[in-house]
Amino acid sequence: MQEIGEKPFRAKQLFQWMYQKGVRSFDEMSSLSKNFREKLSKGCILTTIKEKKIVKSGLDKTIKYLFELNDGNLIESVYMIEGKRVTVCLSTQVGCPIRCPHCATGLMKFKRNLTTGEIVDQLLWINSNSKMPITNVVFMGMGEPFLNYENTINAANILNSECGQEISARKITISTCGITTAMYRYAEEKHKFKLAISLNGTTDDQRNQLVPINKKYSIKELLEASLFYTRKSHKKVTFEYILIADFNDSHSDARRLVKLLSPIPCKLNIIPFNENRHVTYKCPSEETLEKFIKEVYRAPFIVTVRRSKGVDIAAACGQLYTDEIHS
């Protein structure tokens, strides 16, 4: 504000209009003078995304959004309701450089990082078009958040701000596939948001196939970084384990998983694979799933099972984009 000749208090006013009230036009900023609004409209933009496609689930209340950015690139966001909890899953990159073969986003080429504005705009747009306000945020959409570290953290801070959406830090989760250098930085900077890690394998050979970045940051290094984070932050880390038929769903996998994670204050979230036509991996049978769960329930840490939402609308990130560009 000072750089354009305005008084500093205008910054808070503008911030609240943008991030708390979520206005889509400078004309809606009634507490600002007409001259100031005209100045802003000539040199600034308020909207970085526009609706491309919306798909609603017939099985639950999940809604998937395909947004077009100002440069023509496409990204996805997902809106999910479970009781009083309303969660939005946000993307942080266009495509993903990790290229995990079980993920539809992995089929896309990495194009670029999203700006802070593009990340936040996903939530603002969805909130302004939803009946129930968003209570929880997960940075688990397209892309690897820790490879767009600065913009992801900035976006989380805006959403958490008392002048913004005021979403509790305890209800904001940043997910990583295991960029350990960023995990150490995240721990040292003492961010208040939750941390989730996509593990998905119990051996390096197994995880190398499913999460290619494991060739650079091994399971051993990942667990060491996780333990450092828990000691530094005094918070538990959540490990995500996608269960894939005949790949990582054996009794031996279950036992190794418990052994690997037992030394770390953590929570384990088991997610049966969300099948889609773009990859060949399959979801385990209910019998296999029950046996696996029975074994890991013996662990000294909390274990939950998360069923995929929006299965009928390809709600796993990357699927709607892939369908769109190939249609």
Mind telling me the catalytic residues? 76, 317
Q: How far apart are CA 42 and CA 298, in angstroms?
A: 62
**Cα atoms in the Cβ-side hemisphere of radius 13 Å centred on 240:** 21
Structure tokens that stand for 115 in this block: 């700006």
**Cα atoms in the Cβ-side hemisphere of radius 13 Å centred on 121:** 21
- The residues near 24 (Cβ < 8 Å, ≥ 6 apart) are 46, 47, 128
Phi, psi of 265 (to 5 degrees): -65, 110
- The residues near 315 (Cβ < 8 Å, ≥ 6 apart) are 57, 62, 64, 78, 80, 274, 308, 309
* Cβ–Cβ < 8 Å for 160, 166: yes
295-to-149, 167, 202, 289, 300 alpha-carbon distances in Å: 36, 36, 14, 10, 12
